[in-house]
């Protein structure tokens, strides 16, 4: 079945409105902007979470060490050592206290400060007796706050960092206040400073950072893919709707032209009919009279069709009248009957008993079928077959009408553009028949589809609402 009046299925993709991609591509801009925004948010969130995780773990460990040191001080009764700094009378108790300090896992150096900030003991003997100025961490610890900080050995050489072993290794520096009581009132008797390289702690922190980064990356990817899919779908819908709008505008212009043409045809038709009637009043040959009678009949048929079309074009709303399917098919096929007989083409109409009428105006069905039958009749070769079948559709509220021919079929490029306005493979075709037929079908809640095989004919399937 060739495309007589314009044809084209909506191929793999609908026609793209002109300049749409060059003006604004929603998908591309959203992909770039959302990827940047989500990436920045994911990085900021992961940085915040890893910082929070690190600070909470190190703060908890610092509090634990402070409790541990103060427990040793109470057991060893070493708090008097801070008030008698420099007095060797503390003896063995102090040595036991010092051994506990240097046995803390991963300890590089242990310092003990008196309440006045002077270093009264250190695992590095050369530091004993020194006082370090501008040590904010020590001042906070002397005020009763356990303080911690991290760094690399040798990267920030404070006075008290001199000669730390294992340069380049990450360390944790803890300032732990030592509490004592005087007359039942607690006070800070001194501060213990520990430099440690807790490998297990750093491994746990690194693992926590990796987990946070992986989780943030996964969440960002999931969020981006979900939003991108939504926007991509919306973009495709908008493109399709805009393409359909362009089609509708084109077909609306065609409809206005058709109405103007229909108005213009009425006067010439009346003249043709009058001339044929005058010829019948003369004494003409019987053959000539038969031809004149056929002219009058066809003029009346065309006048009736124009009148129905103009009335139908003016209808904007209201319940559509039911169209008897079998009768409409017969009436639509009747004008083609003489031409089909001359070419030896057999036309069959098969209407299922289950099909009676459809909820579409008869003229609308006639317009659609006329276009389909004209295409099929033009495609069928002499001696071929044309079949029109009406049967129940896939649901009870639907029926379908098939117009089948055994012509050469349609090539794929022509099929893909069959429903595109003004796209036709015929020299004399306008390319509006099939687009208008589909537009009319959709206007009444139906659909029109084409299927073809080269060398095996074409089938046009019209779906309509059953009455």
Rounded Cα gap, residues 376 and 460, in angstroms = 9
Residue 26 CA to residue 236 CA, distance in Å, equals 10
Say if CB 126 and CB 144 are below 8 A apart.
no
pLDDT tier, 321 (very low <50, low <70, confident <90, very high otherwise): low
Residues 202 and 326 reside in one and the same domain:
no
Tokens of 4: 């007589």
The CA-CA-CA angle for residues 373, 379, 381, to 5°, reads 115
Residue at 109 is within a domain? yes
What letter would DSSP give residue 414? Answer: H
Q: Which of 365, 405, 410 is nearest to 382 (CA)?
A: 405
E strands, 243-328, in order? 323-324
Confidence check: pLDDT of 79 > 90:
no
What pLDDT, in 10s, does the model give residues 376-398?
Answer: 888 888 888 888 988 888 887 88
For 365-396, b where at least 16 C-beta lie within 10 A, e where not — what string? bbbbbbbbbbbbbbbbeeebebbbbbeebeee
Residue 234 lies in a domain: no
Domain boundary among 174, 208, 242: 208
Tokens of 236: 């495709």
Domain count, the chain: 2
Mark which of 208, 228, 259 sits at the end of a domain: 208
218 occurs within a structural domain: no
Look up the CATH number of the domain holding residue 353.
3.30.565.10
Residue matched to tokens 């009870």? 396
Domain-embedded: residue 195? yes
Give the pair of three-digit tokens for residue 427.
Answer: 């020299």
For residue 361, tell me if it sits in a domain. yes
C-alpha angle 135-137-141 in degrees, rounded to nearest 5: 120
Q: How far is CA 220 from the centre of its chain?
A: 15
Instruction: For 164-208, write each residue's pLDDT tens digit.
Output: 766 778 888 899 998 888 878 888 888 888 888 888 888 888 898
Does 176 share its domain with 34? yes
Instruction: Answer yes or no: do 172 and 40 share one domain.
Output: yes
In a domain, 228, yes or no: no
For residue 109, the domain's CATH number is 3.30.450.20
Separation of alpha carbons 457 and 376, rounded Å: 9
Q: What is the DSSP letter of 104?
A: S
365 within some domain:
yes
Q: Are 333 and 461 in the same domain?
A: yes
Q: Give the whole-number percent of the chain exceeding pLDDT 90.
A: 8
Residue 130: inside a domain: yes
Tens digits of per-residue pLDDT, 98-133? 777 777 777 888 888 888 888 888 888 888 888 887
What are 121's strand-pairing partners?
112
DSSP letter for 118, please: B
Q: Which domain holds residue 405?
A: 319-465
SS3 292: helix
Q: Look at residues 208, 229, 263 and tell me which one is the last residue of a structural domain.
A: 208
Q: At what angle do helices 199-281 and 26-76 cross, to 10 degrees?
A: 160
Q: Over 60: is that where the pLDDT of 295 sits?
A: yes
Q: Is 421 exposed, middle or buried (0-12, 13-18, 19+ CB in 10 A)?
A: buried
């Amino acid at each position: 079945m060739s495309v007589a009046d314009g044809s084209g299925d909506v191929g793999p993709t609908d026609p793209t409105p002109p300049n749409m991609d060059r003006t604004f591509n929603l998908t591309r801009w959203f992909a770039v902007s959302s990827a940047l925004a989500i990436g920045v948010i994911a990085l900021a969130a992961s940085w915040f979470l890893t910082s929070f995780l690190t600070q909470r773990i190190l703060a908890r460990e610092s509090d634990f060490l402070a409790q541990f040191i103060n427990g040793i001080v109470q057991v060893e009764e070493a708090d008097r050592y801070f008030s008698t700094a420099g007095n060797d009378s503390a003896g063995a108790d102090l040595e036991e206290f010092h051994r506990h300090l240097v046995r803390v896992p991963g300890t590089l150096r242990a310092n003990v400060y008196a309440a006045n900030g002077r270093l009264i003991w250190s695992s590095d003997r050369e530091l004993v007796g020194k006082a370090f100025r501008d040590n904010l961490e020590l001042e906070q610890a002397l005020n009763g706050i356990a303080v911690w900080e991290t760094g690399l050995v040798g990267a920030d050489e404070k006075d008290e960092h001199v000669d730390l072993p294992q340069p380049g290794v990450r360390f944790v520096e803890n300032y732990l206040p030592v509490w004592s009581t005087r007359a039942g009132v607690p006070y800070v008797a001194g501060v213990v400073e520990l430099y440690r390289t807790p490998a297990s702690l750093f491994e746990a922190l690194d693992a926590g950072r990796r987990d946070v980064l992986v989780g943030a990356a996964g969440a960002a990817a999931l969020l981006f893919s979900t939003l991108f899919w939504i926007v991509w779908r919306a973009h495709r819908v908008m493109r399709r709707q805009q393409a359909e709008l362009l089609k509708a505008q084109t077909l609306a212009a065609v409809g206005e032209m058709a109405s103007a043409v229909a108005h213009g045809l009425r006067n010439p038709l009346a003249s043709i009919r009058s001339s044929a009637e005058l010829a019948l009043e003369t004494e003409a040959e019987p053959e000539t009279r038969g031809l004149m009678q056929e002219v009058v009949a066809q003029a009346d048929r065309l006048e009736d069709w124009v009148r129905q079309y103009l009335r139908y074009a003016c209808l904007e709303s209201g319940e559509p009248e039911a169209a008897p399917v079998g009768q409409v098919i017969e009436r639509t096929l009747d004008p083609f009957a003489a031409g089909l007989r001359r070419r030896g083409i057999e036309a069959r109409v098969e209407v299922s008993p289950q099909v009676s009428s459809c909820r579409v105006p008869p003229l609308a069905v006639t317009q659609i079928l006329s276009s389909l039958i004209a295409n099929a009749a033009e495609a069928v070769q002499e001696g071929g077959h044309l079949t029109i079948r009406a049967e129940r559709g896939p649901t009870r509220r639907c029926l379908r009408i098939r117009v089948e021919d055994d012509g050469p079929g349609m090539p794929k490029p022509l099929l893909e553009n069959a429903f595109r306005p003004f796209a036709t493979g015929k020299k004399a075709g306008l390319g509006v028949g099939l687009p208008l037929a589909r537009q009319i079908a959709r206007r009444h809640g139906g659909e029109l589809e084409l299927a073809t095989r080269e060398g095996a004919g074409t089938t046009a399937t019209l779906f309509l609402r059953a009455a």
